[in-house]
Amino acid sequence: MDPAIRTQDLTRIYRKARSRGEPQGEFRALDGVNLEVRPGELFGLLGPNGAGKSTLIKILSTLLFPTSGLAQVCGLDVVKQCEQVRERINMVSGGEPSGYGLLTIREQLWVFSQLYGLTTKTALERIDRALEQYGLANDAGTKINRLSTGMRQKMNLIRGFMTNPTVLFLDEPTLGLDVHIARQTRDYIRSWMAEDRSRTILLTTHYMAEAEDLCDRVAIIHAGKIRACDTPANLIAAFRRETVFELTLAGLDGRAAELRNLAGVTVVRLDSDPAAGRTTVRLSMPDDAALPAVLGGIAGLGGRILNLSKNEVTLEDVFVGIAGRSFADAEKQEE
Amino acid sequence: MSSLRNNLRAAGARAWIRVVAANRELSWVWFETFLPALTTACYVFIYRAMGAAPEFESYVILGGIMIGFWLNVLWGMAAQFFWEKDMGNLDIYMMAPISRMAILLGMALGGMTGTAMRSVVILLLGIFAFRVRFEVAGLATAFGIFLLTMASLYGLGMMLSSLFLLFGRGAQRWAEAAQEPIYLLAGFYFPVRNLGFGVAAAASLFPLALGIDAMRQTALGSRAGFLPVGVEAAALAALTVLFGLLARTMLRTMENRAKTEGKLTLKWQ
């Protein structure tokens, strides 16, 4: 059986607009990506903003040409056989502002169903069922220009699901959603997958917990390259030799950034709240033995420990271990 | 066959958006029908003030009827891919298993509904306020010419839409630049042969120039036609085929270029 998705040495280079006095630049969004997703998998692509996730999805959904390499969906080349690929896929992006403001949710979904050859009867049956399942039934007659971000995103997801694609691409589906709707969305994704075991989803996210919670396998992408690919449990197990501590500190007085210079540890996450005079830092280190030296370093910076806990390794720690920097730092670098 | 049915479904749904949106926001009736009718009336009064022959008033009415279709092609169809991209809908259309021409056909049909309303208002203004007289015997032929004109005009619109697909806001400026010169070249308010043979012949590449001229000859009995009606009808038919083929090729070419340059979607990374 063909893989649901396969890429081989997939590369995409964007040409940057020429600035005054500067030569034309290039941005390598994807750099030799090799990936294989099996039919029936809920596969996560995890990486910070600018890592290349959306570019990969745009290529697989036939909206963008690769610069080089091969990309296949259901064994079909996305460049040469794009029309056949389109019959098998759908895609939904998080934060998508799509739709026509004067139409209602139900009308909007019907319009988009017509692009996939569904009869009106079938389309409306599927739409009504999905609206019911996803808690939107009472809002079916609400116009698009009156929808909240969460309702709009629910509608967009139904648009992707209702055509029953063999492969569905979800590009950051919970972006900007509150905790409750994000959880509803993850439940809906799971139930849609459970309905038919041949369905495949490629989901991009930069929420670690989401990838850990939802995905059968995860690929970590950074700077256009796939850095690791396995089940979340295996990825975490491979990094379990690391020890992770989370500390809440006071008294650093603007010196929080210097925590990054502490020897023998990697700063996974650093959140400073100058107004409250507190800093939360997540540190990864090879073993507990390094801890006394770290605590000494913190005291040297004037820091007082308010709380210290030893934590389980998460995908976030795995990412830092692979990329050598946190998501936030990687995103700053891309900017 | 199923592909044709799917494309017709898609075209119907896209047309439906225009119709239902127009019914829900009725302010367009004022802006799209009453105000343009005033402009047409203005030209009628100019001819009256000059003491021109009454048929010139009829020419203006017919030109006023057809202007709406040009504006619809330019802004309601050609530019629509740009607006769809701006609204975040273009991705959805572009990854759907349907022809781009089906989407454009839907936009055209939906837009025509609103434009037809504007045209009817101007027609009624002509008949009841300005006593325009039509040649009843020529109306059937005029209607046939009208359909041919629409087919070639909307084929031209499909070609233009491919430019918007790639150039976006840049193409919008070209369209703005094209709007007014077409008022002159199409002879909306005067017989196109007054431009002189060379200019009128060049203007005939634009379907409305030939279409309006032929309709004036058939429906209004104009003797100020540029070319015989049969020649103009044949030229319109040829333009329909030409623009249709060019539109298909250009849409594919521009889409591929947009996909190469990463200009098809808003979210590039």
Residue A169: closest C-alpha in chain B: B95
Provide the 8-state DSSP code for A143: B
Q: Is the pLDDT of residue A42 over 70?
A: yes
Average pLDDT score over residue span A320-335: 64
Residue pLDDT, tens place only, A171-189: 999 988 888 889 999 999 9
Environment class of residue A296 by beta-carbon count within 10 Å: exposed (0-12), middle (13-18) or buried (19+)? exposed
At residue A334, the pLDDT reads 52
Residue pLDDT, tens place only, B208-253: 999 999 999 999 988 889 999 999 999 999 999 999 999 999 999 9
CB A227 within 8 A of CB A221: yes
Q: What DSSP string runs through A62-128?
A: TSS--SEEEEEETTEETTTTHHHHHTTEEEEETT---S-TTSBHHHHHHHHHGGGT--HHHHHHHHH
Provide the 8-state DSSP code for A222: E
How far is it, in rounded angstroms, from Cα B52 to Cα B214?
21
Q: Please answer yes or no on whether B265 and A63 come within 8 Å at the CB atom.
A: yes
Average pLDDT, chain A: 88
Phi then psi for residue A279, to 5 deg, are -135, 135
Q: Which residues of A touch B13 (CB under 8 A)?
A: 110-111, 114-115
- Say if B21 is an interface residue toward chain A (CB within 8 Å): yes
Q: Is the pLDDT of residue A335 over 50?
A: no
User: Which candidate in B6, B252, B259, B264 is best for mutational testing of the A interface (most A CBs within 10 A)?
Assistant: B259
- Say if B253 is an interface residue toward chain A (CB within 8 Å): no
User: Which residue type is seen at B4?
Assistant: L
Please name each of the domains of chain A with its CATH number.
5-237 (3.40.50.300), 241-312 (3.30.70.260)
Q: Please answer yes or no on whether A63 and B259 come within 8 Å at the CB atom.
A: yes
CA distance B243 to chain A (A): 24
At residue B34, the pLDDT reads 80
Who's near A115: CB < 8 A, 6+ residues apart? B10, B13, B92, B93, B96, B97, B98
How far is it, in rounded angstroms, from Cα B62 to Cα A99?
37
CB atoms within 10 A of CB B186: 24
Average pLDDT, chain B: 89
How far is it, in rounded angstroms, from Cα B15 to Cα B109?
6
Phi then psi for residue B189, to 5 deg, are -115, 5
CA distance B120 to chain A (A): 25
- Say if B20 is an interface residue toward chain A (CB within 8 Å): yes
- pLDDT > 70 fraction of chain A, expressed in percent and rounded: 94
CB B121 within 8 A of CB B34: yes
Short-list B108, B76, B94, B90, CA closest to B12: B108
Environment class of residue B49 by beta-carbon count within 10 Å: exposed (0-12), middle (13-18) or buried (19+)? exposed
Phi then psi for residue A267, to 5 deg, are -85, 115
| Per-position b or e across B220-246, b if 16+ CB within 10 A of its CB | bebebbbbebeebbebbeebbeebbee
How far is it, in rounded angstroms, from Cα B197 to Cα B139?
27
Residue pLDDT, tens place only, A77-114: 999 999 999 999 999 998 777 789 999 999 999 999 99
CA distance B33 to chain A (A): 21
Q: Please answer yes or no on whether A63 and B93 come within 8 Å at the CB atom.
A: no
- Say if B147 is an interface residue toward chain A (CB within 8 Å): no
User: Which candidate in A76, A115, A158, A221 is best for mutational testing of the B interface (most B CBs within 10 A)?
Assistant: A115
Question: For chains A and B, what is the number of CB pairs under 8 angstroms?
Answer: 92
Q: Is the pLDDT of residue A58 over 70?
A: yes
At residue B268, the pLDDT reads 45
The whole model's pTM is what? 0.85
Q: Which residues pair with A283 in a beta bridge?
A: A245, A267
CA distance A40 to chain B (A): 22
Residue pLDDT, tens place only, B28-64: 777 777 888 888 899 999 999 999 988 899 999 999 8
How far is it, in rounded angstroms, from Cα A328 to Cα A272?
13
Task: Using DSSP, state whether B221 is helix, strand or coil.
Answer: coil
- Matching residue, tokens 């021109």: B52
CB A96 within 8 A of CB A146: no
Q: Is the pLDDT of residue A324 over 70?
A: no
CA distance B253 to chain A (A): 13
DSSP strands (E only) in chain A: 5-15, 26-37, 42-46, 68-73, 76-77, 89-93, 167-171, 200-205, 217-222, 225-230, 243-250, 266-273, 278-285, 304-311
Task: Using DSSP, state whether A309 is helix, strand or coil.
Answer: strand
Task: Using DSSP, state whether A2 is helix, strand or coil.
Answer: coil
Rounded to 5°, angle at Cα A8 from A6 and A11: 115
